[in-house]
Structure 1
Amino acid sequence: MPEISEFFGIHITINYSDHNPPHIHAAYGGYRALIDIQNQVAFKGFLPGKQLKLVLAWCVLHEAELMENWNLVRSGQKPRKISPLVKG
C-alpha cells in the first residue's frame, strides 16, 4: 500500500484494490484503523484517542485530495502525497 502522508508517527496509506466505502488505512505503533474518507469515522480497527482525533481532523482538511487519491488508485494509478498535519 502506498504511503500518502505521515505525521506525528501516524502513517496513512491507501490500497489499490480496496473495497467501498472510500477509506484510508491509518497506523500508529501497533494500532491500525480504517477511516471512512467522506464521513470521517473509523469503521474498523482502533487508534488511541489522540491519534484518531488527529487523523479525523486531517481527513476533514484534505477530503477532496483523499477522494482524488481514492479515484486514482481505483483506476490503477499512483496516488499523490498529501501534506501532513503540522503543529500550529
Structure 2
Amino acid sequence: MPTISMFFGILISIFYGDDEQHHTPHVHARYQGKSVSIAIEDGSLLAGNIPHRQLRMVQVWIDIHREELMADWELACAGEEPFRIAPLQ
C-alpha cells in the first residue's frame, strides 16, 4: 500500500491491485498508530478511528483533491501504482 501523500504526521495510502475487496473508492489514513478508511466521494468515515482534528484535515484534503484521488483510484483498480498527491498546506 503506497503512501500517496503526507502532511502534519498523517500518512495517506491507497491499495492497488485488489479491486475485488474494495468496492467503495477510499483512502487509508494513519496517524500515531491509529488508522481509518475514508470514502473519496464524500469524505465519510468508513472504518477506524483517529483524532477528530486529523480526521477533519484528511476530509478537507480529500475535498480539495477529489478528482486526483478518483484518477488514482482508477489506476489502483487497474493494478497500477497511484501517483503522489500534494499535501495539505
Identify which of structures 1 and 2 has the higher relative contact order when contacts are C-alpha pairs closer than 8 Å and 6+ apart: 2
Q: Which runs of 5+ in 1 are unaligned?
A: none
Moved over 4 A (4+): none
The sequence identity of aligned pairs, in percent, is 44
State the partner residue of 1:50.
Answer: 53
Aligned-residue Cα RMSD (Å) equals 0.7
1:20 aligns with 2:23: yes
Q: Which moved more, 1:31-40 or 1:15-24?
A: 15-24
Give the counterpart of 2:62 among 43, 59, 69: 59
Letter matched to residue 22 of structure 1 = P
For normalisation by structure 1, the TM-score amounts to 0.95
For normalisation by structure 2, the TM-score amounts to 0.94
Q: Which runs of 5+ in 2 are unaligned?
A: none
* Count of residues in Structure 1 that have an aligned counterpart in Structure 2: 86
